[in-house]
Structure 1
Amino acid sequence: MLAVMKCVVVLLAFVSLAWGQEQHCHCASIITTEEGAGLAYDLPPTEVQDCNNLEACELRCIDEYTVLTNDGDLDFVLENGETVGQVACNTLKPQGYDDVGPLEVFLYYNLCLGPWYYTGFKSQQKLCCVGGEHTPC
């Protein structure tokens, strides 16, 4: 389990560096497996004025993710016609996660390139991807 958590930290550190902005609130949902962690859903960062307001960043992430995913519903159909679960499978497939699940999807946040924190929010259902396609677990 310690190895998985280290992979989560490394994965989220790379996500932070990819954005290259210093003052932002960033939200990402991830899965964890015995082999490591995968980015399931990445929300665009939001500029902030205060890098000390962790609570505001956390609430923003939960609020935005709740609205976008209909409260973490992997079966919710987005405006593009795909389910939240299918978007997660599409995001995970290039990372080598063609077949995953059943796994919970956890929401994390980061403020101003600081450490990542778990929000306590997770998907309503467990995620299952078979050949990169979202399927019921």
Structure 2
Amino acid sequence: MNTLIVLLAAVVSLAGAQTDAPECHCGMFITHYHEEYEVHRLPPFDLDDCSAFKRCKKKCALEYDTYTNGGDLNYRLDNGYTVGQEICIQMAQKHNVGDLWDETVYGYARQCNGPWDYDGESSINNLCCSRGHFVKCEE
């Protein structure tokens, strides 16, 4: 019986110790036909506490800027795709949306699983996808 109580106490203490540390999440979103789509998630980072939202937004803006080379959807990533092509693939595969025209890609930040908030960054060129392929937007 004592072994069962000790085991139960250990499980309860481990469960309590697994609370997540305060984190900042960074994402890229578009609005398409009044729907919000997360088109890319950037790596999260730890915060000291959940009151550091300005730091979270600044870090997300920097991450967005680095990933897109200043908001450029034509920027070529290490995998050989452009940022725009990566987004078109994600939209087609995850959301079953293969065609998009003249969409702006916005950067957002979220801390401690709160709501997403615009971090001030957006694409310098528009996103256009045709059948899941990144194409030049017609002017």
Q: Same fold (TM over 0.5)?
A: yes
Partner residue in 1 for 2:48: 49
The aligned amino acid for 2:106 is: F
Partner residue in 1 for 2:129: 129
Larger Rg: 2
SS in 1 for 2:43: coil
Q: In the alignment, does 2:78 pair up with 1:103?
A: no
Moved more, 57-66 or 26-35: 26-35
TM-score for the superposition, normalised by structure 1: 0.81
Q: CA RMSD in A?
A: 1.5
Partner residue in 2 for 1:87: 86
Length, aligned pairs only:
118
Q: 1:69 to 1:21 in 2, by over 3 A?
A: farther
In structure 2, stretches of 5+ residues that fail to align are 1-18
Moved more, 32-41 or 119-128: 32-41
| Matched-pair identity in % | 36
Partner residue in 2 for 1:112: 112
Deviations 1:58-91 (A, max 9, x none): 0100111111110110000011111000111111
Deviations 1:99-129 (A, max 9, x none): 0111101111100011211112110101001
TM-score for the superposition, normalised by structure 2: 0.80
